[in-house]
Amino acid sequence: MKKKQAVTPVEKKNSKAEENFDSIKWIWLLIIPVLTFLVYQSVTTFDATNWDDKAYLQETPMVRDLNMEKTKSIFTKKVLNSYNPIVLLTFAYDHKMAKLKPEWCHSVNLFFHIMNAILVFICMRKLRFKTNHAGIIAILFALHPLATEAVAWIAGRKDVVYLFFFLFSWKFYLDFFHLKKNIFLVASLLFFVLSLLSKVQAITLPFILIASDLMLDQKFDKKRLLNKIPYVILSLVFGIIAISGSGELMADKYSVPFTIFDKLVYSVMAFGLYFVKIIFPFHQIAIYQFPKAGSSEFVVDLIIGIIAVVSIIIGFVISFKKNPRLAAGLLFFAVSVFPVLHLVAVNSALIYERFVYLADIGIFIAVFALIEQIPKQEKRLSYIMIAVCVLFTGLTYARIPVWKNSISLWTDVIEKDPTAADAYTNRGQYYESINEYDKAFLDFSECVKLQPNKPQGYHNRAVSYFHKSDFKNALLDNQHVLDIDPKHTDALVNRGAIFFNMDQNDSAIFYYKKALEVSPGLAKTYYFLGSSYFKLKDFNSAAKNYKKATELITDFSDAYVYLAVSYVHLGKIQEAEFAINAAEKYTPNSAARTMSSNELIQLGNAAYRNGQVDAAFDYYKESASIMPTNAESYFNLGGIYLVRHDIVRARENWKKTISLNPGHVEANNWLQKTGGIN
């Protein structure tokens, strides 16, 4: 029998190298999250902006108090014309944990970003990049200045969440590639579905997997395409879901629609800018406007785009056989960017920085594929990339405060591009929300100057006039809006509000109804319509509209309050009590009970003045029943008993009045007149 051989020196050397690799790996797994957190930690104190954040945090009731019905809505409805149910579920979690406080929401975004950076490192290692190179790629991803939009903007949640599941799916596919175990392929597909349910941009994964095969096999293997078929099918299904019901929409319906040629030209420009911005991320701005046709900027952007497209194609063709990893990186970038180009997507700006949250990884892969092909210069080039990391970190650190709130964001845009009308609109709306109407008026007026043929500036300025009670000028600007767009829902609603405040309730009702013809699901418009009927003392119509408002928004506390008061006037006390309870359920300190009780007292007083003593008595009793702590109810009941010559019960009610309100002068006087306090 042969003796067991001792471990050879070579094996000892490999073991030591493996141990060294593990230590380096864990160092990077510490550096990546810690450095990312240190750079981004300030976002955990930021406010929400009025750029889509409001839609998720305030205007999407399905994420509040999640139940089966709301969960169904999350998976069957779109928000902001996007199908992102998993993202909405994360906001539902935010509501449960912190009532959607902006600081919490920002922290969740940062958590996903940190996890994504770690996953990028893991995936790069599985693609057989050297440990240090994988770490530098992860840092470049984590601290690239263009990533700030996805991380520091609450509505950027779509990007950080979809990429989280995307990277997990990619990681499990790479495990499948190396270990040939089908369980990893199943896990990859499951995470792919979660990524698709977060953002449709995940449909690029099948092509990323092909690029991965190219990096690992160093060749294009047609047989491996078979395992991509399930991914392709899922991509097609979710692609159809994404475009369903969206074909008729435009980025700006008040602009001339793009022709196919326009879309092609702007797609080339966007492709070039995305490529250049990843390498040279300077002069960042939230809104990259379309350059005016024929302008010098238009020509330059188009030339850059053409050069970028041609360079990527030539680079891919040349490197396909000589350096497949480089070819794969270029393919990664091109495929990741393609779904967000104007030939495919409907965008209201030339580019959005968040759209390269995945694509920049392809450029980093390409760079290190080149570096690893030059072993003699590898160390020096790696140091250069570390210097680039330092530069990017500084740019990111300087960029992050721009996202602190709406003022900082839109002021930054205006300073860099004074022709950005949307920035004036958004900043003006923020000023309006904090009651700084003069500043809002100036921004809205600037928007009107920049876009005199579009309704937004006129509409917002009309609102400013309204807040100043300048109803004449409010109506003039409002009419400008309706001249441009007779079905402008907000303008119709606001015109109704103007007439309501001018006590022209018939006109208010007319415009509220026109608004509901255009958009039948406007809960607040039903509330306003109910208020107009309420002022006209048509309590039956008022109640119907208040009820409709509560059906559309179940926690619409103000609607419940006036629904209760309307029922009081209709003599439907049981229904009024139900509405009061609903109002108190959603707003514990609701005025519904007090208002209803006091309204019954007023009705009782009116009945008494008309000689209807019994009716007055019933009103006062109902008032006390609805609100047993309302001292005035008992005082008036005492008066009715006095009229009926029932001194004992009159005094009982006046004593009850004093027990609730010891300072009630009239109750004390009547007790003195009828036999003393005791």
DSSP string, 302-367: HHHHHHHHHHHHHHHHHHHHH-HHHHHHHHHHHHHHGGGSTTTS--SSS--GGGGTTHHHHHHHHH
Looking at residue 7, what is its pLDDT?
A: 40
Q: Decide if pLDDT at 25 tops 60.
A: yes
Q: How confident is the model at residue 677 (pLDDT cuts 50, 70, 90)?
A: low
**How does the average pLDDT of the chain come out, rounded?**
92
- C-alpha to C-alpha distance for 113 and 33, rounded to whole angstroms: 9
CB atoms inside a 10 Å sphere around CB 290 = 22
Residues 322 and 327: their CA atoms lie apart, in Å, by 9
Q: Quick one: angle between helices 157-179 and 205-217, nearest 10?
A: 40
Contact 328, 211 (CB under 8 A): yes
Picking from 57, 62, 94, 61, the residue whose alpha carbon sits closest to that of residue 75 is: 62
Strand partners, 79: 82
Q: How far apart are CA 439 and CA 248, in angstroms?
A: 36
pLDDT-based confidence at residue 424 (cuts at 50, 70, 90): very high
Task: Say what percent of the chain tops pLDDT 90.
Answer: 84
**Would the pLDDT of 4 be above 80?**
no
Binned at pLDDT 50, 70 and 90, residue 250 comes out as very low
**590-626 per-position pLDDT tens digit:** 999 999 999 999 999 999 999 999 999 999 999 999 9
Phi, psi angle pair for 257, to nearest 5°: -60, 145
Q: Positive or negative, the Cα torsion across 52, 53, 58, 62?
A: positive
How far is Cα 276 from Cα 283, in angstroms, rounded to an integer? 12
DSSP code at position 79: B
Q: Which residues face 198 on adjacent strands?
A: none
| Residues 452-462: b if buried by 16+ CB within 10 A, e if exposed | eebbbbbbbbb
- Asked if 632 contacts 658 with a C-beta cutoff of 8 angstroms, the reply is no
Query: Cα 372 to the chain's mean position, in Å?
Result: 42
Distance (Å, rounded) from C-alpha 515 to C-alpha 518? 5
**Could you give the angle at which helices 573-586 and 613-626 cross, rounded to 10 degrees?**
30
Which tokens in the block code for residue 629? Answer: 């702590």
Residues 114 and 596: their CA atoms lie apart, in Å, by 53
Exposed/middle/buried for residue 121 (C-beta within 10 Å: 0-12, 13-18, 19+): buried
Three-class SS of residue 151?
Answer: helix
The per-residue pLDDT for 256 is 73
The three-state secondary structure class of 237 is helix
pLDDT-derived band at 245, boundaries 50, 70, 90:
low
* DSSP letters spanning 181-245: -HHHHHHHHHHHHHHHTT-GGGGGHHHHHHHHHHHHHSS--GGGGGGGHHHHHHHHHHHHHHHTT
3-state SS record for 165-181: HHHHHHHHHHHHHHHCC
pLDDT at 79 over 50: yes
CA–CA distance, 204 with 192 (Å, rounded to integer): 10
d(CA 413, CA 376): 45
- Say if residues 78 and 245 touch (Cβ distance below 8 Å): yes
3-state secondary structure of 443: helix
Give yes or no for a contact between 302 and 339, defined as CB atoms under 8 angstroms apart.
no
pLDDT in tens, 84-131: 999 999 999 999 999 999 999 999 999 999 999 999 999 999 999 999
Residues 6+ apart with CB under 8 A from 598: 623, 630, 632
Residue length, the chain? 678
Report, as an integer, the average pLDDT of 430-457. Answer: 94
CA distance 411 to 396: 18
At 20 the pLDDT is 56
Is the model's pLDDT at 509 over the cut of 80? yes
Taking CA atoms, 242 is separated from 88, 341, 417, in Å, by 16, 15, 32
